[in-house]
Chain A
Amino acid sequence: MIQWKKFPFFDKELVKEEGSQNPNSVIQKLPISCTTSGRGILIIGDTEGFINFFDREFRLSSSFHAYNEMVNQLYQLKERNFLISIGHDEPGANPILKIWNLDKMDKNDVPLCVRAIKIEKMVTITSLVCLEDLSQIAVGLANGEVIAMKGDVFRDKVIKQKTMKHPGESPVTGMGFITKGVPSPVLFVVTTTHVYSYIREQEYCIDEEGGDIGNFVMSDDQTPIIARPDAIYFYNTDGRGPCFGFGGTKNKLLWFRSYLVVVGHEASISSSAGGGSGGTASGNSGIGYLSPSNMASKQTIVNIYDLKNKYLGFTDKFEGVSHIASEWGSIFIFTTDGKLYQLEEKDTQTKLETLFKKNLYSVAIDLAKSQHYDNASIADIYRKYGDHLYTKGDFDNAISQYLCTIGKLEPSYVIRKFLDAQRIHNLTSYLQALHEKNLANEDHTTLLLNCYTKLKDVKKLDQFIKTDSEMNFDVETAIKVCRQAGYYEHALYLSLKHNQHDWYLKILLEDIKDDQKALDYIQTLSFEEADKNMKKYGKMLVSNIPEATTRALMKLCTDYQPVHSAGMFGHHSSAFGHQDNAAANNMIHKVEELKLTTDKAAPEEFIHIFVSQPEWLTKFLEYTIQQGNETPLIYNTLLELYLREDKKGSASNITTTTSSSNSEESSNRLEKAYEFLTSPKSKFDEDHALILAQVHNWKKGILYLYEKLKLYNEIIEYHMENEDFDGLIKSCKKYGDQDPNLWVQVLSYFATHQKNCQNEITEVLTNIDRDNLIPPLLVIQILAQNKYTTLQVIKDYISRRLSQETQQIDKDYQQIKQFAEETDKMRNEINELKTNAKIFQQTKCIACHSPLDLPSIHFLCQHSFHQRCLGDNERECPLCAPANKRLLEIKKAQADSAGQHDQFFKLLESSQDGFSTVSEYFGRVKNTVTNHSQKINTLLSIL
C-alpha cells in the first residue's frame, strides 16, 4: 500500500478518572448516542435522553433531561451558544427538534428550550445541519428525504417544513452548508449512492457515487469531503475535486484544524492491490480481508492526515471506535468499550525537531509555512536542509535550498561553503539569485563574474551582462572583473551601456588596442568628456594613429560637437521614415543650437601628447594658429618644432650623404620659422623664443630677436663671437645712434683682436670721431693694446683731434680771460661800495622825472626818488628790485638744489658732458663743499 510518511505528531493518552489510573468512570458509564463540541465544552447525548456537558477536566459540569428517549442528533452553533438537538420523547413518536439557549437557565437550572419543532416524518433522522443564524435547518432522513426548515425560529409561529429532496432508495448519510464564496448558501447532500447540491432549492446531481454513513465531513474551509473505500474525495459545488487514494473502509471522518481524521479499517494488502475499486474492498469476502480473524473487524485504525503537507500525523489501532470529537485542541476518541482517548497535537517546534531528526526538511518547511512561521524561521529551516544536503554531498539540491534563504541568511555563509572550483556551478546559481533579488554587493558581483569566467560560460555571462536591464549590480566591479578575465567585449558593452567612458577607453586602448574605435568613441562624447579623455589617452592615440587623432584634436580645439548625434539622427530618421523628418529636423536644430555654445579645448593642453610625433604636432599647431586660437605657448612650441626639425634635418645632412632635397627642406623650414617669427601676428614669448633660437643656434632668429628686444650689445657680441666684422660694423652703424657706446666696444674689440683689422678700426674711428664719442686719449689707450695697430691708422684721427683740441683750448683761454676781467671789475665795484662814499648826484626823480625835492630817497644804485613816488616801498629801488630779486632767487635755488641729489644725478645722466655738470654743481654748492667733498670725489672717479 502506498502511503505517506508517518510522523508521531500526536500524543495518545487515556482519559482517566481524576486522581486514579482507571478510565474515566462517568464517561465509561454513559450510553453515548451522539456527541458534539464547541465553545469549550464537550456535549454528549445519551440513549436515555440526557444531554451531558463536560469540562476540560472531564468532570460532568452539568446534565439535563432533554428527551424521554434517546438523543439522536446534536448540533452546536459555533458563534452563538445554541444547541440544536433531535430526539424522541416517546417511543414510536415523531422525532422532535429542540433548540436550546445554553446561556439561559430556567427555574430548574436547565438550559432554556427556545423552540421545539416536531418533525413531520416518522423516519430515522440520519443527519442534521443548520446555518449559523438558524435561518435554515436541514434534516436528512434514512429514507433519502431532506427536510428544510426556513424562517425565524425565534419569532415565527409556524416553521414550515419543506421536503427539499424527495425520498429515494438510498438514505441521506451526510449534509453540509457551503456559505463562503457563493451568493446563497449551498446545501450539500450525500446519500449512499449520489451527491447532490441544492442552490435555492434547485437540485443538482454532482456525482453518481455517494458515501456511507459517517463518511462525510465538511472541512473548516467548507470543502465537502467524502470517504469511499478506494479513496477520499474532495468536492466543490461543481463536482469532484482532488482525491487521495487511501484504501480501506472508513467509519468516521472528522476535520481537525488542518487535519483529516479518518477512522476505519485498513484495506488488506491483497484486496487493495487491485485498485480497491468501488465496493470491492468492502464487499470482498476473500481470504485477504478476513484471514486475520475477527480481530480485524473489531480493530479500527485511526489515521490523521495532513492533506496539505502530505503526511500521516498519527496512526494507531483502537478497539472499536464509537464516536470522535474534537475540543480544546485535542481529538477525543470514544471506544466501544467505554474508554476515552485524547490525542493531543504536539507543538510545532517539537514537530519540526522530529522532522529535523529524520532529515525530512522539505516536510518541515511545508509544515512551518502552513503554521505561518515567519520568513526568518523558514529560511533557517531551508538553511538546515541545505546544510544537510551539503554534508550528504548533494550540492545541487543543497544550493536550491540555500536559494530560499536569500534575504535572511548572510550570503557569505553559503558562499564560503561553495567556494571551491568543483562547486562553482552551485555558487554561480546562488550568486545569480542574489543578483536577481537585488541583494548582491560588489563582492558578490565580482565573484559571480569570476565564476562565469572560470566556467567559461560566455552565454551566461552574456545573459547576465547584456539582458540585465535593471542595475542590480555594481557596474564598475563588473567591468573590472570582465576586463581582468579577458572578456573585453563584455566589459566594453557594460562600460558603453553605463557611460563609463573612462573604462571603455581604457579597455579599448590597453586591452584590445583598437585605437581607431577608441578615437571614434571619444568623438561621440560630450565636450567635457572628450576633452578629459583626449588628454588622458591622446598620447597613446597619437603615437598609434597620428593622423586621425590629430584631426580629432583639431576638431576638439575648434568647434567640437559629439559625432554620434548626427549619426543617430540619420539613423532615426531613416527608421521613422518621412513622417518623422520634421521631428528629426527639429532635433538637428537643437543640436545646432548646442553647437553654438560648444566649448573649445585649449590646444596648449594637448601639446604634451604629441611627444613622439613632432610632425603631427606641427600640423596641429599650425591648424590651431590658423584658426586664430592662440597663446604664446603655442607659438613657442611651434617655433621650437620648426627649429628642432631643422636641427634634425641638418643632423641627417651630416650623417647621410647629403641629399639636396633634405637640405632644401631644412632651409624651407628655416624660412618658415623666420617668416613665422617675424610675422606681426605671432604672439610668442620673445625671451623664450630667444632661448630657443640660441639653443638651436639659429643666427637669423637670434639677431632678429636681439634687434626686437633692443639688445644691441648682444648683437655686437654675437658678431664678435662669430668674428663677423662686416656685420659688426653694419650693426654698429645701424644701432650706433641708439647706443653710441657700441662703437667704443667695437673699437676695443678690434683693438684687442688678434688679427690685423686696420680698415675696420679706421672705420670705427671715423664714426667715433664724428660723434666725438670718447676722448682721444682713451682711443689711443685702447688701440695701444693692439700691437698690430699702426700710427698710420690713427694719424689722421689724432691730428684732427689735436687741432680741434687746440682750438678749443684757445677758446677757453679767451673765455677765462674775459671772465677774469669781469670778476675784477666786480671786485672793484664792491670794494668801492665798501670803502668810498657814494655821491648822489641825481637831480631828477627817476620815477616822475621832475626835479627832486625833499623828502627824497637815494639808493646805492644811483637811483633817486621822491619819497612820495616810492609809496610804501621805500626800502628797495623799484628799478633794481626785480634784478636783485632774480639774483637772490638764483642763489637761493642753487643752495636748494645743492641738497637735491636726485636731481643732480638726473642732470648728470642727461647731460652730454658729465664733468661740466659736476663742476657746475660744485660751483653752486661751494659753501657746503666740505660736506659733500667725499661724494664729489666718488662722482669724479666714476666720471
Chain B
Amino acid sequence: MYAFLFKYIIIGDTGVGKSCLLLQFTDKRFQPVHDLTIGVEFGARMISIDNKPIKLQIWDTAGQESFRSITRSYYRGSAGALLVYDITRRETFNHLTCWLSKYKRKQNNTLQLAPPQNHDNCVPHSNLHLTWISAQCQMRFWADDVDDARAFANSNMTIILIGNKSDLEQKRAVSYEEGAKFAEENGLIFLETSAKTAANVEEAFINTAKKIYEKIQKGDFDIKDETFGIKLGQPSNKVEIGAAPPAQKSGCC
C-alpha cells in the first residue's frame, strides 16, 4: 500500500524520449528502438519519500501532434508534469513555450467557445525561427482553448523541465545553461537526463515527487480533491472511488 499516489504526465515533442524515460524509471532498462507511442501509456512505480511509500502513476503521452486531442484529456488532475525536450534537437526546446503556455492557459480554466480550427499549426519544423514559432503558438493557444478547456491542469502542478539524451553530448544543440535559464524564468525544476544511461532519471521523478510532497506538507493542496492528482492511500478500492465526488466533473464530451 502507499501513503500517497501522485499522478504524473510526461509531455513534450515526439521523439524526445518520453517513453524511454518512463521505461527506464519503471523497468530500469532502455530500448534503443522504441515504437512511436500511439495514444497514452501508463506506468507505475513505488518510491519512498520521507520514509513514506509513494506510488507514482505516470502517464506517458504521445508526442505526435495528431494525438494531441487524445492525450489532452489526460492532462487533467496531474500532480506533476515532466516536460521533456531533446538536447540534440533545438526545435524541441523551442516548442517548450507552446507546451507550457497550454498549461497556463488551462489554469485560467476558461471555457471559450470557438469553431474547431486546423490543429496543424505547431507541427515541428526544425528550421523555423523561434519568434515565428511563438507567433504560431499564439495562434494555437486560441485554437487549443476550445479542446483543452475541460482538460485543465491545476495551478499547483509541479513541472520539471527535462533535457533528455544528455549522453549525446557531441550532438548537443541546447546548452545546459539555456535549459536552466528557461526553467528559472518559468519556475520549473530543471534536470538533464539520459534515458539510455539512466543518468538523473530517478532524480527527475523523485525530485518532482519531493516537491509535491513539500507542497502537501505546506498544505497547498486539498488532498481530498482528486483534481490535484494526489490520492491518499486507503485500504479499500471502494472508498477511493467514493472519494471522487461527481461534482468535480465539469464540462462534457
What is the interface of chain A, defined by CB distance below 8 A to chain B? 2-5, 181-184, 193, 197, 199, 202, 204-205, 207-210, 230-232, 237-238, 240-246, 272-278, 280, 310, 362, 396-397, 400
Contact = CB atoms under 8 A, between A and B. Distances in A.
Nearest to B250: A208
Nearest to A400: B32
A205 B247 CA distance: 10
B147 interface: yes
A243 B40 contact: yes
Please indicate which of the listed interface residues B242, B251, B253 has the most CB atoms of chain A within 10 Å of its own CB. Answer: B253
A279 to B, nearest CB: 9
B253 A246 contact: no
Given A199-B238, A208-B249, A245-B62, A275 B70 contact: yes
Interface string B150-181: 10000000000000000000000000000000
Interface string B84-123: 0000000000000000000000000000000010111000
B38 interface: yes
Interface string B234-246: 0011101110101
A204 B62 contact: no
B249 A237 contact: no
B67 interface: yes
Please indicate which of the listed interface residues B42, B69, B119, B246 has the most CB atoms of chain A within 10 Å of its own CB. Answer: B69
Given A246-B38, A278-B253, A240 B73 contact: yes
Please indicate which of the listed interface residues B38, B119, B238 has the most CB atoms of chain A within 10 Å of its own CB. Answer: B38
A244 B244 CA distance: 25
B87 to A, nearest CB: 20
Contacts of B40: 242-243
B31 to A, nearest CB: 8
B19 to A, nearest CB: 11
B152 to A, nearest CB: 14
Contacts of B249: 205, 208
B39 interface: yes
A205 B244 CA distance: 10
B252 A208 contact: yes
Contact of B38 (A238, A245, A280): A245
Contacts of A273: 66, 120
B35 A274 contact: no
A184 B40 CA distance: 29
B36 interface: yes
Contact of A243 (B70, B118, B240): B70
Contacts of A276: 66, 69
B68 interface: yes
Given A199-B238, A208-B251, A277 B69 contact: yes
B232 to A, nearest CB: 14
A232 B40 CA distance: 10
Nearest to B248: A205
Given A4-B38, A237-B237, 17 more contacts: A5-B35, A181-B237, A199-B238, A205-B249, A208-B253, A209-B253, A210-B253, A231-B67, A240-B74, A242-B39, A242-B41, A245-B62, A275-B67, A278-B69, A278-B253, A280-B116, A397-B32
A275 B69 contact: yes
29 contacts: A2-B66, A2-B67, A4-B35, A181-B237, A182-B237, A183-B236, A183-B237, A183-B238, A199-B238, A199-B241, A241-B42, A242-B39, A243-B39, A243-B70, A244-B38, A245-B38, A245-B39, A245-B62, A245-B67, A246-B38, A273-B120, A274-B119, A275-B65, A275-B67, A277-B70, A278-B69, A278-B253, A396-B32, A400-B32
A366 to B, nearest CB: 11
Sorted from nearest, which 9 A-B pairs have the closest CB atoms? A277-B69, A209-B253, A275-B69, A245-B39, A243-B39, A244-B39, A242-B42, A245-B38, A245-B67
A231 B74 CA distance: 13
A362 B34 CA distance: 10
Contact of A310 (B32, B35, B66, B70): B35
A316 B39 CA distance: 23
Contacts of A397: 32-33
Interface in B21-68: 31-33, 35-36, 38-42, 62, 64-68
B69 A230 contact: yes
Nearest to A210: B253
Please indicate which of the listed interface residues B68, B147, B237 has the most CB atoms of chain A within 10 Å of its own CB. Answer: B237
B42 A193 contact: no
Contact of B119 (A184, A197, A240, A275): A275
Nearest to A231: B70
B237 A277 contact: no
A202 B67 CA distance: 34
Contacts of B66: 2, 245, 272-276
Interface string B180-211: 00000000000000000000000000000000
A817 B73 CA distance: 164
B36 A2 contact: yes
Contact of A2 (B38, B41, B147, B251): B38
Q: Is the interface of A mostly helix, strand, loop or mixed?
A: loop
Contacts of A2: 36, 38, 64, 66-67
A5 B147 CA distance: 30
A349 to B, nearest CB: 24
Contacts of A5: 35
Contacts of A280: 116
Contacts of A197: 241
Contacts of A193: 252-253
Nearest to B42: A242
Contacts of B64: 2
Contacts of A241: 42
Contacts of A202: 242
A204 B253 contact: no
Contacts of B237: 181-183, 237
Nearest to A203: B246
Contacts of B62: 245
A246 B70 CA distance: 10
Nearest to B246: A205
A436 to B, nearest CB: 13
Contacts of A210: 253
Contacts of A205: 246, 249
A244 B38 CA distance: 5
Nearest to B146: A277
B38 A362 contact: no
Contacts of B147: 277
Please indicate which of the listed interface residues A2, A3, A205, A241 has the most CB atoms of chain B within 10 Å of its own CB. Answer: A2
Nearest to B245: A204
Contacts of A209: 253
A209 B74 CA distance: 13
B233 to A, nearest CB: 14
Nearest to A247: B66
Contacts of B65: 275
A581 B32 CA distance: 58
B168 to A, nearest CB: 13
B165 to A, nearest CB: 15
B139 to A, nearest CB: 15
Given A182-B237, A199-B241, A237-B241, A274 B120 contact: yes
A209 B64 CA distance: 23
Nearest to A205: B246
Contacts of B253: 193, 207-210, 278
Contact of A204 (B39, B74, B244): B244
Contacts of B36: 2
Contacts of B242: 202
A275 B68 contact: yes
Nearest to A280: B116
B52 to A, nearest CB: 21
Nearest to B66: A275
Contacts of B118: 274
A273 B121 CA distance: 12
A550 B252 CA distance: 94
Contact of A238 (B32, B70, B244): B244
Contacts of B42: 241-242
A207 B150 CA distance: 12
